[in-house]
Amino acid sequence: MTAALAREILQRCGEHLLMVALAVAIALLIALPLGVLIQGRPRLAQLVLGLANAVQTIPSLAIFGLLLTVPVLGGIGPTPAVLALVLYALLPLLRGLVTGLDQVPSGLKEAGRALGLSRGQVLRHVEFPLALPSLMAGLRVATVISVGVATIGAAIGAGGLGVFIFRGIATVNNSLLLAGALPAAAIALVADGALGALETRLCRRVAKGGSQAGRRGGGRAAWRRRRWLQLLAGTLLVAALLAIPVAWSWLAPSGGETVVVGAKGYTEQLLLGELLAQEIEAHTSLRVKREFSLGSTFLLHEAVRQGRIDGYVEYTGTAWTAILRQPPLPPERRAVLWQRARQLYDDRFGLRMFPSLGFENTFAILIRQADGQRLGLRTISDAVKPARQWRAAFGYEFLNREDGLPGLAERYGLRFAAPPSAMDLGLTYRALADGRVDLIAGDSTNGLISALKLQILEDDRAYFPPYDAVPVFNAASLRRHPELLPVLDRLSGRLSAATMQRLNAAVDLQGQTPELVVRHWRRDSTAGAGAAAAVPARAATP
Using DSSP, state whether 368 is helix, strand or coil.
Answer: strand
* Rounded CA separation 411/426 (Å): 26
Could you read off the pLDDT of 453-507 as tens digits, one per residue? 999 999 999 899 899 999 999 999 999 999 999 999 999 999 999 999 999 999 8
Res 170: pLDDT: 67
Q: Which residue has the higher pLDDT, 77 or 360?
A: 360
Rounded mean pLDDT, 337-359: 96
The amino acid sitting at 211 is: S
Percentage of residues in the chain having pLDDT higher than 70: 83
* Rounded CA separation 420/441 (Å): 11
Could you read off the pLDDT of 33-85 as tens digits, one per residue? 898 888 878 888 889 888 988 888 888 777 776 776 665 555 667 888 888 89
Could you read off the pLDDT of 158-185 as tens digits, one per residue? 788 888 888 777 666 778 888 889 999 9
Residue 324 near residue 338 (C-beta atoms within 8 A): no
Res 208: pLDDT: 60
Other C-beta atoms closer than 10 Å to the C-beta of 188 total 18
Res 314: pLDDT: 96
**Alpha helices (runs of H) in 39-151, residue ranges in sequence order:** 42-57, 60-68, 78-102, 106-114, 119-122, 128-149
Domains in the chain, ordered, with CATH? 15-244 (1.10.3720.10), 258-355+469-527 (3.40.190.10), 363-457 (3.40.190.120)
Res 540: pLDDT: 32
* Listed ranges 12-26, 292-306, 518-532; the one with the highest mean pLDDT: 12-26
- Of 204-208, 228-232, 370-374, 449-453, least confident by mean pLDDT is 228-232
Res 73: pLDDT: 59
What interhelical angle do 128-149 and 3-38 show, nearest 10?
A: 140
Q: Which residue has the higher pLDDT, 410 or 250?
A: 410
- Of 72-81, 257-266, 299-308, 386-395, least confident by mean pLDDT is 72-81
Res 271: pLDDT: 94
Asked if residue 340 has pLDDT above 90, the reply is yes
Could you read off the pLDDT of 108-164 as tens digits, one per residue? 777 777 777 767 677 776 777 777 888 888 999 999 999 999 998 887 777 888 888
pTM equals 0.71
Closest CA to 45 of 104, 534, 53: 53
Q: Which residue has the higher pLDDT, 541 or 71?
A: 71
Asked if residue 260 has pLDDT above 70, the reply is yes
User: What is each CA distance from 182 to 162, 170, 177, 187, 416, in whole angstroms?
Assistant: 11, 18, 8, 9, 40
Residue 152 gets which letter from DSSP? Answer: G
In which band, very low, low, confident or very high, does the pLDDT at 100 lie, cut at 50, 70 and 90? confident
Half-sphere exposure of 163 (CA within 13 A, CB side): 23
Residue 447 near residue 506 (C-beta atoms within 8 A): yes
Res 224: pLDDT: 52
Rounded mean pLDDT, 312-317: 95
How many residues comprise the chain? 542
Asked if residue 302 has pLDDT above 50, the reply is yes
* Rounded CA separation 157/253 (Å): 12
Using DSSP, state whether 115 is helix, strand or coil.
Answer: coil
